[in-house]
Amino acid sequence: MKKWPETWKEYNTGGIIFDVGNARSFKTGPWRSLRPVWDNSKCIKCGVCYLFCPEGCVQEGPDGFFAADLDYCKGCGICAHECWPSAISMIEEGHES
Amino acid sequence: MTKPVGMEVAVAAAEAVALCNIDVAACYPITPNTHIAEHLADIIADGRIDAEYITVESEHSALSAVMGASGTGARTFTATSSQGLMYMHEILPITPAMRLPVVMGLGNRAVSGPINIWNDHSDIMLQRDSGWMSIFADNGQEAVDMFIQAFKIAEHPDVLMPINVNMDGFQLTHVVEPIVFPTQAQVNKFLPPYKPFASLHPDHPVSMGTLGLPEIYTEAVKARDVVLVNAKKVILEVWKEWEKMFGRKYEPVASYKTAGAEILLLTMGSMGETAEMAVDALRKKGVKVGLLKLKLWRPFPYDEIRKAVRGAKTLVVTDRAVSYGGPGGPVCSEIRAALYDQPNRPEIVNYIIGLGGRDVRVEDFMKMVEGAPKAKKSGDDYQIYGVRE
Distance between CA B15 and CA B130 in Å, rounded? 28
Which of B160, B198, B223 minimises the CB distance to A11? B223
Q: Which residues of A touch B222 (CB under 8 A)?
A: 8, 11
Contact B212/B36 with Cβ under 8 angstroms? no
User: Helix H segments across chain B?
Assistant: 9-19, 34-45, 59-71, 82-87, 94-97, 122-126, 140-155, 184-190, 214-246, 271-284, 302-308, 330-339, 362-370, 372-377
Contact B87/B60 with Cβ under 8 angstroms? yes
Which of B97, B160, B218 minimises the CB distance to A15? B97
* C-alpha dihedral (B66, B70, B76, B80), degrees to nearest 10: 30
Distance between CA B91 and CA B85 in Å, rounded? 10
Does residue B1 have a pLDDT over 60?
no
Contact A77/A36 with Cβ under 8 angstroms? yes
Average pLDDT over residues B331-353: 97
**ipTM confidence:** 0.83
Contact B182/B148 with Cβ under 8 angstroms? yes
Q: Given this model, what pLDDT does residue A5 score?
A: 81
Distance between CA B365 and CA B359 in Å, rounded? 11
Does residue B249 have a pLDDT over 90?
yes
* C-alpha dihedral (B276, B164, B357, B87), degrees to nearest 10: -170
Which of A3, A13, A18, A22 should we substitute to test contact with B (largest number of B Cβ atoms within 10 Å)? A13
Beta strands B263-267 and B314-319 are: parallel
Does residue B225 have a pLDDT over 90?
yes
Q: For B263, list phi and psi in degrees, rounded to 5.
A: -115, 135
Residue B226 in contact with partner chain A when CB distance is under 8 A:
yes
Query: Residue A1 — very low, low, confident or very high, per pLDDT cuts 50/70/90?
Result: low
Query: Residue A2 — very low, low, confident or very high, per pLDDT cuts 50/70/90?
Result: low
Contact B280/B286 with Cβ under 8 angstroms? no
Q: What proportions of chain A, in percent to the nearest 5, are helix, strand and coil? A: 25, 20, 60
Buried b (16+ CB within 10 A) or exposed e, A2-41: eeebeebeebbebbbbeeeeeeeeeeebeebebbbebeee
Omega before B193 within 30 of 0, i.e. cis: no
Q: Given this model, what pLDDT does residue A97 score?
A: 56
For the stretch B255-308, pLDDT in tens is 999 999 999 999 999 999 999 999 999 999 999 999 999 999 999 999 999 999
Average pLDDT over residues B338-365: 97
Residue B229 in contact with partner chain A when CB distance is under 8 A:
no
Query: Which residues, in sequence order, are CB contacts of A29 under 8 Å at separation 6+?
Result: A69, A70, A71, A72, A73, A74
